[in-house]
A and B are shown apart, each in its own frame.
Chain A
């Protein structure tokens, strides 16, 4: 599907748009798709206001797939009629900073915050184990990713030392008594009604407070959240950001903000990172790509552009009457290979 919808669009995808209105989209099979026409003739996409609505429609048999299953709901949704497919994806939870402004202009501050977070605890407590610690923007499943490079470890003492070295020594008391004493305070944007992000925020807030860093969250409607990010009106923002599976996304978000504004709305600026991105772009063989990737990983650890938390997993629910093929992959990407499972008898969900 093209990124933008218009009458003059030309595409080569497996489905093409038939109609679009406030109730959703309707797509039809493109019989001349170069990898072979999909078996599914028609796809109708219904947006839902909330998960409950979509789940109820799935459980009632009104829809065949729901694209997002929170970790807590996986066991509830899965039954003899519905399969839930979890897969690692190139998205990570992170706190992105406005690196163009103090205090996050300081690489030491960003490093300190990365060292202050216990990612394993966060994944266990909040994500129910469905995630992988994230210490940088490079997708760990990428073939060139070097796992030998030591990432950030959980080191609150080191984090405190780094902050003190960066000038955040004294713990200031808030005169209004509404905020705790802290050596560093900042406000983090959070989209309203995203319970998982809120839970992550709570955990991060608690962990950072252990090194006297007071994070205050500002929850705003999603539209305002988007707008303020685009406009750079934030100190920090908690996001679920795409960062894989290729280097394209990290490049778009973290390349030199000064030279190429683009999607780097976070003001991150690091010459070594930019140089390695450029080398990576110019690398034409495996060794060169691996070498550049290794150096890029180190540059991003030396000057982390954000507080990286966890690569997340996503789960999608699909009715079992479809055989979705490889269960390790996002079923949305294998939809052209879906076949109707004739062995599966409809099961009443009452």
Chain B
């Protein structure tokens, strides 16, 4: 029954678990994708902002250069004034390391440099940007990143204002970017040249002029998605799995990449995923527990009723169930208890009636068994007064009294034996001989009843360990019953047989037979098929047989006859001479 409660609890839990698991799976998926998208979006925002700042920085620098150019062209300034302007601008705007005014032949007119000017108009590799030419990025002798920017002067004399743009601020911008603990930004030109790297350990790559053409995100941005402003990619490098996002600097055609170890980038998502999973598992366990407890509490009254019913079935009529609730189960419990009370009353009634019936039967049997001898003795006593002088009568009287008293004694012995069986002596007895003697002694009774009695014996002696007087009583009971149950012209046969280690004795008659429903109780005390008598004969016989290690069974068919079969184990012992002679 516990299984039922377990199944019930599981059923209740499963009813909640399936939706909970479904909800959990959807939540985990949503959380994971949502958190990852948030991280990617956040990193993309960082990259986009850096790209914007870089563009602003370069745009601002170009504007400065254009402003300087505006100050120089068509203003009629003297050379020293132009020289002063350039130098002041360089001092004021550290974005420019050098500003030099070149004529159309590339010769320096004035320069912010105290030494020889180092800049020239960028060649064909330059990028045209907002009306200026922007050269390729390079690292100068002091390891500082620079690029040459040139603006054409709208002057009668023509010429170019060329500046060396200090991109150190770009490095600082990139250095300031930290995404988590190990996420850095880097800037790559459109031809894959590494411009800046926020990872201190990777800065030497900038100094070496490393190319990042093979970087997965660079490949994606520059080749696969050339028109897309932002992109993201997961890839692996020497630091392990990485999450990289890229934002383009559209006018410069540079790309800002923010890369972060994937484990760190998605750490929150992974942690939330775990927390949600644990929460779902805890909820699941709690639900199972609650379902089990609730289910058990629901089932418990039913189990109590079941236990009560089983106890009643086992005869424990004092078993009751505790009724707590007032619901249908409670009402059922009350009904059960009422039923149990009623059963007790009924049982008492039955017992009372059984006792009354038993006493009645015993009384009737005693009356039957004792009234006849007493009446015979009484009658004889009445006659002895008149016929006291008749010697023959006195002798007859004496025999009658002795016989009837013996009958009374036998009845009383039977009653005593039922209460306390007598101890039996065991001697080797030949059943053939014992039965032959007994049948011969009862031949007269059979003749009086108009019956034939015969023996059918196995060849040879059939020794068993037994008490001669007790066994005679058993056989006598069985034969007497057979004679009484068999109508005239019927027959009673007593057979002996041997089968292996056992001796079999059968008493078969052709009498009225015993109804099948009574066969199971005919060996009980005070049970008889006859109209009168105590019904102790078969009960005493069964006790004696079983005391001697044997068994007794009965087979009967109404209208055909009855056969009692006794089985004793054979013995190898033989009677001593004295006993054999006796």
Q: Pick the most buried of A55, A174, A350: most chain B CB atoms within 10 A of its CB.
A: A350
CA distance A329 to B113 in the complex (A): 34
User: Do the beta carbons of B201 and A125 come within 8 Å of each other?
Assistant: no
Determine the residue in chain A with the shortest Cβ distance to B175. Answer: A75
Q: Are A201 and B142 in contact (CB under 8 A)?
A: no
Query: Known interface pairs A52-B139, A79-B203. Does A206 touch B80 (Cβ–Cβ under 8 Å)?
Result: no
Number of interface residues of A (CB under 8 A): 40
Residues A52 and B88 in contact in the complex (CB < 8 Å), given A78-B200, A180-B80, A202-B112: no
Given A180-B81, A219-B114, A73–B91 Cβ distance below 8 Å? no
Most chain B CB neighbours (cut-off 10 Å) among A195, A217, A348 = A195
User: Is B91 a contact partner of A206 (Cβ separation < 8 A)?
Assistant: yes
Q: Which residues of B contact A80 (CB under 8 A)?
A: 200-201
0/1 per residue, A170-194, Cβ < 8 Å to B?
A: 0000100111100000000010110
Taking the complex as formed, is A209 at the interface, i.e. its CB lies under 8 A from any CB of chain B?
yes
Q: Which of B81, B97, B203 contacts A59 (CB 8 A)?
A: B203
Would A349 and B204 count as touching, CB distance under 8 A?
Answer: yes
> Which residues from A are CB-within-8-Å of B207?
52, 55-56, 59
- B544 located at the interface, meaning its Cβ lies under 8 Å from any Cβ of chain A in the complex: no
Chain A hits for B140, CB < 8 A: 52
Asked whether, in the complex, the Cβ of B114 is within 8 Å of the Cβ of A347, the reply is no
- A246 to B482 CA separation, bound complex (whole angstroms): 151
B578: Cβ under 8 A from any A Cβ: no
Nearest CB on A from B79, distance (A): 5
Check A72 for interface membership: any CB of B closer than 8 A. yes
What residues of chain B lie closer than 8 Å to A73, measured between beta carbons?
142-144
Complex Cα gap A50–B94 (Å): 22
User: Does A130 make an interface contact (CB < 8 A)?
Assistant: no
* Chain A residues with CB under 8 A of B489: none
Whether A209 and B84, one on each chain, are in contact in the complex, defined by CB atoms closer than 8 angstroms, is yes
B391 interface contact, C-beta 8 A: no
Q: A55 touching B143 by the CB < 8 A rule?
A: yes
When distances are taken between beta carbons in the complex, the residues of chain B under 8 Å from A81 are: 201
State whether the Cβ of B326 lies closer than 8 Å to any Cβ in chain A.
no
Chain B residues near A205: list those with CB within 8 A: 87, 114
* Interface size grouping (class) on chain B: 35 or more
Decide if A179 touches B80 in the complex (CB within 8 Å): yes
- Measured CB to CB, the nearest residue on chain B to A216 is B114
A60 contacts the other chain (CB 8 A): yes
Q: Provide the residues of chain B in CB contact with A190, threshold 8 Å.
A: 114-115
Chain A positions within 8 Å of B78 at CB level: 177-178
**B202–A198 contact, CB under 8 A?**
no
Does A45 make an interface contact (CB < 8 A)? no
Q: Are B201 and A348 neighbours in the complex by a CB distance under 8 Å? A: yes
Q: Given A55-B207, A219-B116, decide whether A177 and B79 contact each other with a Cβ distance below 8 A.
A: yes
Interface assignment of A103: CB less than 8 Å from any CB of chain B: no
Could you say which residues of chain B place their CB within 8 Å of the CB of A177?
Answer: 78-80
Q: Hey, which chain A residues are within 8 Å of B139, CB to CB? A: 52
Closest-by-CB residue of B relative to A238 is: B114
Bound: A70/B114 CA distance, A: 19
Main secondary structure of the interface of B (DSSP, over half): helix
Residues B143 and A193 in contact, CB atoms below 8 Å apart: no
Contact residues in A for B84 (Cβ distance below 8 Å) = 180, 209
Known contacts A51-B141, A190-B114, A219-B116; A76/B91 CB under 8 A: no
Indicate if the CB atoms of A76 and B208 lie closer than 8 Å: no
Q: Does the CB pair A350–B87 fall under 8 Å?
A: no
- Contact across chains for A202 and B87 when beta carbons are under 8 A apart: yes
Contacts of A203 in B (CB 8 A): 91
Query: Within B237-279, which residues are at the interface with A (CB < 8 Å)?
Result: 238
**Are B142 and A72 closer than 8 Å at their CB atoms?**
yes
- B103-144: CB near A (< 8 Å → 1, else 0) gives 000000000111110000000000000000000000111111
B319 is an interface residue with CB less than 8 A from chain A: no
A193:B115 contact, CB within 8 angstroms: yes
In the complex, A60→B88 CA distance in Å?
38
Q: Which residues of B contact A192 (CB under 8 A)?
A: 115-116
A350 to B112, CA, bound (A): 37
| CB neighbours of B142 from chain A (8 A) | 50-52, 70, 72-73, 195
Q: How far, in angstroms, from A75 to B174 measured CA to CA in the complex?
A: 12
Q: Which residues of B contact A195 (CB under 8 A)?
A: 97, 141-142
Q: Counting CB contacts under 8 A, is B399 at the interface?
A: no
Q: A59-B203, A70-B142 are in contact. Are A198 and B115 (CB under 8 A)?
A: yes
Per-residue interface assignment for chain B, residues 34 to 56, with 1 indicating a CB less than 8 Å from any chain A CB and 0 otherwise: 00000000000000000000000
Which of chain A's residues has its CB closest to B166's CB?
A72
Given known A50-B141, A51-B141, contact A198–B81 (CB-CB < 8 A): no
Hey, which chain B residues are within 8 Å of A70, CB to CB?
Answer: 142
CB distance from B186 to the nearest CB of A (A): 12
Interface residues of A in 58-78 (CB under 8 A from B): 59-60, 70, 72-73, 75-78
Known: A51-B141, A51-B142, A52-B143. A202 touches B204 (CB 8 A): no
B68 to chain A, nearest CB (A): 15
List 9 additional A-B contacts (Cβ < 8 Å) besides A52-B143, A347-B201.
A56-B208, A79-B201, A179-B80, A202-B87, A217-B115, A219-B115, A348-B201, A350-B201, A350-B204
Provide 22 A-B residue pairs closer than 8 Å at the C-beta atoms, listed in order of the A residue: A51-B143, A52-B139, A52-B143, A52-B207, A59-B203, A59-B204, A59-B208, A73-B144, A77-B143, A79-B200, A79-B201, A80-B201, A177-B80, A178-B79, A179-B80, A180-B80, A198-B113, A202-B90, A202-B112, A203-B91, A219-B115, A350-B204
The 8 closest A-B CB pairs, nearest first, are A59-B204, A79-B200, A219-B115, A217-B114, A50-B141, A177-B78, A180-B80, A349-B204
